[in-house]
Structure 1
């Protein structure tokens, strides 16, 4: 029989992700709208976003944070183009976005001294094979494979290269070892359910030193430039953005940060996400027709949970369409380049009771399509 109750919030997309519980546009502080981002009120809002990010994430005091254009992709490209080329690069990837960073480094920057350390979807490569004398590029959480790094123990404290980490679906949902990361990028529309178009970069002192001492052999677009005359442009890291930001998006981001603070900080956000994963884990353990794409439990993402089903591609499409038609779950198909299956977002903005209400619908949808050709 068709389940009686539906999730109150059917938004399980892996990006843009669900807004926080209780979100209302009318709750945003929009005093900056229509004002210049260079005005006192505009700069104050941007600086507050940076400072509150640093405080909530417990980022070391001597690290620099900036708001940059073009979401996490823009933030990563800025760092790859600004920092790489000084030494050999080890690129670790096990899904499509990490593979994309490797392609950009190899084909666009045309670096020859690049090592690919890879694994198939559902697995994690041997990260211990990275060289601490090399620059290391990796994603903390493979958003399209549902595989995360369980920790940063494999990164040497005595490294001489930089670690450059795309952590967009990990920050605010997984413990981040900031002392192991020299460059970290993320975007607002992932774990916080914020709006898109803006990225964040977090730089260690070692990354700043590289920026000030190294000039890449290729021209840098204006929106990539973080230094002038060999010195870091400090104003960028206090809210003087490189290009004009959306002050409405900034207000939305501040609302999300305030919510994280209200629920108990980043630890509470991590717990919410891990509890959501536990709900799906218990469900998967009870049904033979569904399983995690991630081979090992300790590598399973607690945000972008990727699942395999005992269904054909045609059946999977019908499965997802049924859930969408009944307004139960939207946008839960696996990523276009990933193995066929489901991808259910379990970040902090998703309520556990919505996941629990989704589970009977998964059973119903499976039983409705499994005999279809």
Structure 2
């Protein structure tokens, strides 16, 4: 079967090996005569999947014992509300670093709950760069600092993270597992699964005990991190199939050589496309400043809108999927998440060079 060159921003490409294994087990999980979707979330069969996913994530990200790993629902967008509901008291301020639409949305939701402030932003330059870490100074009454590690729409990504005296919370939906990070720099990380972790439907939350102990008590049960931590993400029926797929994805990352090997390959894939852009004499121009370029989302423009439309139309004819840029930026976007093969990036560069030559 011929596979598409899938550069969708999310839901995104999944490894073919993972899809094949899921297909093989879909109707008969471990010779049980049942699909994993049919098991009770209280069964020993599902419990083994659940615990393996937690164990593998801890191993891959080197998550210390004083952090909880939660599997929640509602996507990263629900976390925009859960974070301030749990951690923003009336006497404190929530600090936000704005680097794109999703960080804006996170702050907008927090403003409905309490006081917020923007402590750094690249909005004035249409989010073409990541703010300098020396500019990130928490408020005197800061409850936490929130940032978005990778910006899918604008193609920017944090290369380093600030070391702060207040809790640092990061939305890592689009670059988690793509590179090595120091978990100890963060009090909380959350990520929707549909980029590097699996299909849509589950959100991973990694949260430090110290932060959890200081969370608000009088909030709805389903929005309370303490409840989910106490119940091991089994307070209600979890998205069992999405967690099963997450477990397969984590197993795949381990089989690739872990995050160091994944990071090296991601660097190679991104460099291939960025080099093509940089050597095009301005035919392809990136949105992000070079020191802020994302390895996950490569955003670029062509000289005219007419050429852009022609490029996208031709790419679809050749089997490329998802190269249209987001409406707020325009142009083109190639999302090169973990599961996008190097060969797909090679094929894209070959097409880009041929298109430039012809036009």
Structure 2, unmatched stretches of 5+, are 30-34
State which of 281, 284, 292 in structure 2 corresponds to 1:290.
284
Structure 1 residue 325 displacement after superposition: 2.8
Question: Relative to structure 1, is the Cα distance of residues 112 and 251 closer, same or farther in structure 2, using a 3 angstrom cutoff?
Answer: closer
State which of 66, 69, 72 in structure 1 corresponds to 2:70.
66
> 2:129 maps to which residue?
123
Query: TM-score, normalization: structure 2?
Result: 0.87
Q: Distance in 1 between matches of 2:222 and 2:47?
A: 18
Structure 1 residue 138 displacement after superposition: 0.5
Q: Distance in 2 between matches of 1:187 and 1:198?
A: 6
Q: Distance in 2 between matches of 1:252 and 1:102?
A: 31
Q: For 2:299, what is the secondary structure of its paired residue?
A: strand
Q: Distance in 2 between matches of 1:103 and 1:139?
A: 14
Q: Which has the higher contact order (CA 8 A, sep 6+)?
A: 1
Q: Distance in 1 between matches of 2:226 and 2:60?
A: 27
> 1:14 maps to which residue?
9
Question: Relative to structure 1, is the Cα distance of residues 183 and 270 closer, same or farther in structure 2, using a 3 angstrom cutoff?
Answer: same
- Verify the 8 A CA contact 1:21 1:350 in the aligned structure 2: no
State which of 202, 205, 218 in structure 2 corresponds to 1:201.
205
Q: For 1:270, what is the secondary structure of its paired residue?
A: helix
Structure 1 residue 345 displacement after superposition: 1.2
Structure 1 residue 163 displacement after superposition: 1.1
Q: Distance in 1 between matches of 2:49 and 2:12?
A: 23
Is 1:281 the counterpart of 2:280 in the alignment? Answer: no
Structure 1 residue 215 displacement after superposition: 4.1
Structure 1 residue 116 displacement after superposition: 4.6
1:76-95 maps to which residues of 2 (within 5 A)?
76-85=80-89, 87-95=92-100
Q: Which has the higher helix share?
A: 2
Structure 1 residue 49 displacement after superposition: 1.2
Structure 1 residue 41 displacement after superposition: 2.0
- Verify the 8 A CA contact 1:138 1:164 in the aligned structure 2: yes
Is 1:360 the counterpart of 2:354 in the alignment? Answer: no
- Verify the 8 A CA contact 1:323 1:365 in the aligned structure 2: no
Q: For 2:321, what is the secondary structure of its paired residue?
A: coil
Is 1:343 the counterpart of 2:354 in the alignment? Answer: no
- Verify the 8 A CA contact 1:306 1:341 in the aligned structure 2: yes
Q: Distance in 1 between matches of 2:312 and 2:121?
A: 30
Structure 1 residue 332 displacement after superposition: 1.5
Structure 1 residue 367 displacement after superposition: 6.0
Question: Relative to structure 1, is the Cα distance of residues 150 and 233 closer, same or farther in structure 2, using a 3 angstrom cutoff?
Answer: closer
Question: Relative to structure 1, is the Cα distance of residues 99 and 366 closer, same or farther in structure 2, using a 3 angstrom cutoff?
Answer: farther
Structure 1, unmatched stretches of 5+, are 1-6
1:39-54 maps to which residues of 2 (within 5 A)?
39-54=43-58
1:262-277 maps to which residues of 2 (within 5 A)?
262-277=255-270
Structure 1 residue 76 displacement after superposition: 4.0
> 1:234 maps to which residue?
230
> 2:151 maps to which residue?
142
Q: Distance in 2 between matches of 1:69 and 1:358?
A: 34
CA deviations 1:145-195 (Å, max 9, x no partner) are 11111112x222xx1x22110011121112222111111001221124x11
Is 1:184 the counterpart of 2:193 in the alignment? Answer: no
